[in-house]
Structure 1
Amino acid sequence: MILLLLCGACAGALATWAILRHWSPRKDTERSAPAANEALSELASGTAHDINNALAPAQLSLELLRDTAGADPELLGLVVRSVERCVRVAGVLTRYAEADLPGTDPIAPGDLIEALRGALPERPDIVVTVAADPDLPELIGHRDRLLELLRQLADNALNAMAEGGRLTLSLRQRSAADNATFARRASDPAVTAINHSWIGFSIVDTGAGLTPEALAEARRLFFTTGEKQGGTGLGLAIAERIAAAHGGFIDLSSSPGVGTSATVWLPVRPQATA
């Protein structure tokens, strides 16, 4: 009976997740997208809170049931997988809701790319190279969230190279002469008022690549090509919210059989060059 109740709780949580996916802003409502995304953020935060509250006793019950004689191992395994899935969903929803919180940390771009390199899992079938322009100015922002942004893009790149390949991490600076072009891509109106220089974090893989159709869909909430690996379709959305919170944006390009390139462009704030 307890197992059935746990199955029901997990099913309810995942049903809420399905509702969120269906409700998310669509491409044909771009004018209302900012307000819709803000509403989705609040809904995601509340949903994650409720899921976590429901999961706490479920996880405790599972620990007790593991040692209970006569427990159906097949059903128990099903519930364990469902609870783990709910935990991942709650974590992703929390990260989405908090992705646009600002930060004031001074950040050395080179240190950030080295931290990313150190956080990547070791895979003998993948060659990782790092290249950076010298003497890059500091950025101002939330270091942990920027690292999460880069880690998300790097994870996508690694997942695309199931048979191995090359991952290139690079840093470069674009001058204030490019500000007009870049500012039009940024979501922060204040960026257009000042001639910023820009720092680009590029993550390039030699994986399977995306078709033009998949690339066009890649920015849509809940779109994923990795459902078998437990993908939620919010990873890129989280990354873009973090970039937007720092006045920046993400450039994506991809070719089937060649690989994918993702570049995060962030403006150098005046206080970062003082």
Structure 2
Amino acid sequence: MVGKTSDHSLSFTKEDEPDRQNKAQFSIEKNFQALTDNLPIGILLTSVEGKIINVNPEGLQMLGYNSVEDLSHIPIQDLYYNKKDRGIFLKNLETGRVRDLEMRFKRFDGSVIWCSMSSVSQENNLGERYFITSLLDITQRKKMEEEKADLLIQLTQTDKLASIGQLAAGIAHEINNPVGYVTSNLNSLEEYLSDIGKLIELDQTLIKRLNEITLPEALAKMTENIHEYARKIDLDFLREDMDGLIKDCIDGLDRIKKIVIDLKDFAHPGKKDIEPVDVNACIETTLSVGANELKYKTTVYKDLNVVPLINGIPQQLNQVFLNILVNAAQAIETTGEIRIKTWQGNNDIFLTISDTGCGIDPENISKIFDPFFTTKEVGKGTGLGMNIAYNIIQQHGGSIAVESKKGKGTTFTIILPVPEDTE
């Protein structure tokens, strides 16, 4: 009797094992359905291997599918935007639970959503493991965080520019004072040397006349010594060269004064009021400020036609032009050219800045104005310069575009509107 019972028990287990598994699976899915149908978050039931067993209505809507059947043939790893994220998820789940893991998922239509994942590992009565995972759509939150981060970066950059502007204005003011009195002193010295030069002429005339007459020996010796010393120091050359030196010093100081004025105009901390702006004057100011960056390997050609004033903030436009010019200079490896042209077309002002540099790869053209995009080495560029330039031009009601050929050069075209009341 015992033996029969034992045989019957063994026979029952083997024959009914699939049925028991089906019942266990049915029980899991039934409980899953009852618990999750009305939850406002997505819930997924998956096997360890990644087979999707069930998804609640919110999860289907979140992922863009109509039914569980549509998802049943898709492994969960194929829904990750980055397939490596599946490995990160499994690694975190080794502890038995995942909390608030942020991942990106692909929807049926190809769009991407951010989700906050939480998951637990469970076992059925047959000892089979499966995962219950919740998905909370945080796409809007992530978008707001990115916008906030971009805004913070722009505000930080603006604050830095304002600080640099204040520093530049302070330095310009400090330079301006000594330049002022040195210029004044040189002007006075020029007048003094002119008077001394006239006195030397009179002395030379007198000495020549004295040489024409017989002088006492002591006096003749003195005049000869004067002649000898005049020849030794090359008096005629000194008189001529002194005038040139004074003139060069005054010209140099005038250039310093112009650079200081341009620097103050370029920075002008705190000035953000819209005013009439001469685009050509902005170009000249920017070229003066950026001369050190440009002069060693570029020749700048200007074709600045007469254009009407626009409404804008000159300091911001200066920043745009400087960013483009510095990038142009950096794109030129040895020597090259930069050409700047302005003209009016209908109710717009057109400005082009072209260089003969290395050009931009075709796949990067569309990214030029994206924040943080840069082709420079790590540590040599923030990737914000062109993004700031783009935003400034947009704020001025204009547009900026770029054309480039690899190995040939790059051209930036800026269009700025002319105010309607400008004649």
The question of a shared fold, defined as TM-score above 0.5 by the shorter chain, is answered with yes
Match of 1:137 in 2: 308
Match of 2:206 in 1: none
**Residues 1:119 and 2:272 are matched in the alignment:** no
Of the three residues 393, 403, 406, the one matched with 1:243 is: 393
Name the stretch that deviates more: 217-226 or 40-49. Answer: 40-49
Match of 1:149 in 2: 320
Counterpart CA distance in 2 for 1:36 and 1:130 is 44
C-alpha distance 207-102 of structure 1, shift in aligned 2 (>3 A): same
Match of 1:211 in 2: 361
C-alpha distance 253-37 of structure 1, shift in aligned 2 (>3 A): farther
Of the three residues 331, 339, 342, the one matched with 1:171 is: 342
**Residues 1:43 and 2:152 are matched in the alignment:** yes
8 Å CA contact 2:297, 2:332 repeated in 1: no
Name the stretch that deviates more: 41-50 or 161-170. Answer: 41-50
Matched to 2:280, the amino acid is: G
Q: Give, in angstroms, the shift of residue 142 of structure 1.
A: 0.4
With normalisation by structure 2, the TM-score equals 0.37
Matched to 2:308, the amino acid is: P
With normalisation by structure 1, the TM-score equals 0.56
Matched to 1:206, the amino acid is: T
Match of 2:417 in 1: 267
3-state SS in 2 of match to 1:263: strand
8 Å CA contact 2:297, 2:329 repeated in 1: no
* CA deviation string 1:67-116 (max 9, x = no partner): xxxxxxxxxxxxxxxxxxxxxxxxxxxxxxxxxx9641111122112112
Over the matched positions of the two proteins, sequence identity in percent amounts to 29
C-alpha distance 170-48 of structure 1, shift in aligned 2 (>3 A): closer
Counterpart CA distance in 2 for 1:241 and 1:39 is 16
* CA deviation string 1:99-148 (max 9, x = no partner): xx9641111122112112212234233111110223x1101110000010
Match of 1:110 in 2: 280
8 Å CA contact 1:102, 1:141 repeated in 2: no
Counterpart CA distance in 2 for 1:48 and 1:166 is 30
* CA deviation string 1:14-70 (max 9, x = no partner): xxxxxxxxxxxxxx89xx9x978853443326767999xxxxxxxxxxxxxxxxxxx
C-alpha distance 268-164 of structure 1, shift in aligned 2 (>3 A): same
Match of 1:234 in 2: 384
Matched to 2:282, the amino acid is: L
Q: Give, in angstroms, the shift of residue 228 of structure 1.
A: 4.5
C-alpha distance 213-167 of structure 1, shift in aligned 2 (>3 A): same
8 Å CA contact 1:103, 1:140 repeated in 2: no
Matched to 1:164, the amino acid is: T
Q: Could you say which structure has the greater relative contact order, defined with CA pairs below 8 angstroms and 6 or more residues apart? A: 1
Counterpart CA distance in 1 for 2:320 and 2:145 is 22
Matched to 1:155, the amino acid is: V
Counterpart CA distance in 2 for 1:159 and 1:128 is 14
Counterpart CA distance in 1 for 2:156 and 2:341 is 37
Q: Give, in angstroms, the shift of residue 252 of structure 1.
A: 0.2
Matched to 1:146, the amino acid is: L
Match of 1:75 in 2: none
Counterpart CA distance in 2 for 1:165 and 1:229 is 25
Match of 2:373 in 1: 223
Q: Give, in angstroms, the shift of residue 256 of structure 1.
A: 0.7
Size of the aligned set, in residue pairs, is 172
Counterpart CA distance in 2 for 1:112 and 1:119 is 11
Q: Which runs of 5+ in 2 are unaligned?
A: 1-110, 113-139, 161-270
8 Å CA contact 1:102, 1:245 repeated in 2: no
C-alpha distance 37-247 of structure 1, shift in aligned 2 (>3 A): farther
Name the stretch that deviates more: 111-120 or 239-248. Answer: 111-120
Q: Give, in angstroms, the shift of residue 219 of structure 1.
A: 2.2
- Write out the 4+ residue segments of structure 1 that deviate beyond 4 Å after TM superposition: 34-38, 45-51
Counterpart CA distance in 2 for 1:249 and 1:102 is 20
Counterpart CA distance in 1 for 2:332 and 2:321 is 17
Q: Which runs of 5+ in 1 are unaligned?
A: 1-27, 52-100, 176-196
